[in-house]
Amino acid sequence: MKSSVPLKKPIPVGKLLRQRLRETERSAAELAEAVQLPKEYIDDLIAGRRRPPQPGQTDLYDRMTSFLRLSRNDLALCATAEREATEPKRRATLKPTVRRQLLELCEPSTAEQLEARRAQNGSAELNDIFQRLLEVTQGAVRRMLDDQIGLRVAAERYGGTYAAMRMRVLEFLDATAETLTTDDLVKFLQPRVTLWDVDLETGVLRVVLKSQEPRERTRRRPSAGAAF
């Protein structure tokens, strides 16, 4: 199978995938199996019903590039251009249930101050802090894609398939603070964040992450805190 010629300019990701599947005489089902995702995820991506994930936050493009013998940077180029052209409008506020649950993980005195500031000045400051907290968590969740055993364990825990769990991880990695759901919090954020705090004068964010190691090893090594 010949490799494709590098693109001179970006095209929609779905169009690129359709072209290359036709050229290689492969099916969407075969592509889905190769990247270990449900076929409906690939169908939606090809049809343009699903926004292509952000390059750097996914292993999807490397897997697709290998299977379809695409030029190395074609998918990232197309995805970046498509995302920039279809950037969704950000909402002014977060979902109230999500906001409350995120504040429950915050240092109580800071949470009180943040709520008072939100009531007085609006939600922009809190939205920005939550986005930074989300990005820290996404960095930890991104490592799940390299841990097949951990993903299979998580799939069994939530009663789904390995491919469906991979899809769920990819969707979380593409979430923003405004699109977060309570399911995102339960599956990904709450299991990883012990506590977070922010210095309201300097804006420095501190996140204490839970260890994801086995229980007996966790006793010997305390959770680590990081400032951002």
pLDDT category at 198 given cuts 50, 70, 90 is: very high
The token pair at 211 is 């260890």
Helix axes 74-85, 13-24, angle to 10 degrees: 150
pTM: 0.83
Calpha distance 221→185 (Å, rounded): 25
pLDDT category at 3 given cuts 50, 70, 90 is: confident
Mean pLDDT to the nearest integer, 113-124: 93
pLDDT category at 212 given cuts 50, 70, 90 is: low
Is 225 strand, coil or helix? Answer: strand
The pLDDT of residue 28 is above 60: yes
What's the pLDDT score for residue 213? 46
Residue 227 backbone dihedrals phi, psi, to 5 degrees: -105, 145
Residue spans of the domains in the chain: they are 13-85, 96-190
Within the chain, residue ranges assigned H as helices are 13-24, 28-35, 39-47, 60-68, 74-85, 96-104, 108-121, 124-142, 148-157, 162-173, 182-184, 215-218
Is 10 strand, coil or helix? Answer: coil
CATH for the 13-85 domain, from 1.10.510.10, 1.10.260.40, 1.10.10.10, 1.25.40.420: 1.10.260.40
pLDDT above 90 covers a percentage of the chain that reads 76
What's the pLDDT score for residue 225? 56
The pLDDT of residue 102 is above 90: yes
